[in-house]
């Protein structure tokens, strides 16, 4: 096989991968990965430190996190889609070792249309 054909095949493969990754990032919404509460802080108002990540794809415009603890404490925060952590003010007292549920509502915008996806995870404050 000659060198020109190998170079042509290489560049065709390279630009195909670049095009596919660009289209994937623009068309497929990124999934929320591993949302969790890493710590609780404060005495008066208690704050929960929340962190998460994203999978491949286009990030949401914003994300709404609703927290519910078994002891009755609740909190909510709305963040920009580029954020990866947030402090959530809680109403009521939450304690270390307490179980919680996070409900995340992701808001995406694609070609002028807005749509949402929702997920729920449970865990325990360590």
Percent of the chain predicted with pLDDT > 70? 97
Q: What is the pLDDT of residues 103-124, one digit of tens each?
A: 999 999 988 889 999 999 999 9
Q: What is the pLDDT of residues 29-80, one digit of tens each?
A: 899 999 999 999 888 789 999 999 999 888 999 999 999 999 899 999 999 9
Whole-number pLDDT of residue 63? 97
Q: Which two tokens stand for residue 55?
A: 């999978």
Distance CA 100, CA 124 (A): 6
Report the SS3 class of residue 7.
Answer: helix
Give the global pTM: 0.79
Report the sign of the C-alpha dihedral through residues 126, 91, 33, 78, in that order: negative
We find that the CATH architecture of domain 29-124 is Sandwich (2.60)
């Amino acid at each position: 096989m000659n060198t020109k054909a190998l170079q042509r095949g290489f560049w065709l493969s390279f630009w195909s991968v670049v095009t596919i990754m660009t289209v994937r990032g623009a068309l497929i919404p990124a999934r929320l990965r591993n949302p969790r509460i890493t710590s609780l802080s404060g005495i008066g108002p208690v704050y929960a430190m929340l962190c998460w990540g994203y999978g491949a794809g286009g990030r949401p415009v914003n994300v709404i996190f609703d927290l519910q603890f078994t002891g009755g404490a609740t909190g909510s925060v709305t963040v920009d889609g580029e954020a990866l952590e947030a402090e959530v003010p809680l109403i009521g007292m939450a304690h270390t070792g307490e179980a919680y549920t996070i409900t995340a509502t992701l808001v995406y915008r694609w070609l002028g249309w807005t749509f949402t996806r929702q997920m729920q995870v449970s865990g325990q404050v360590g």
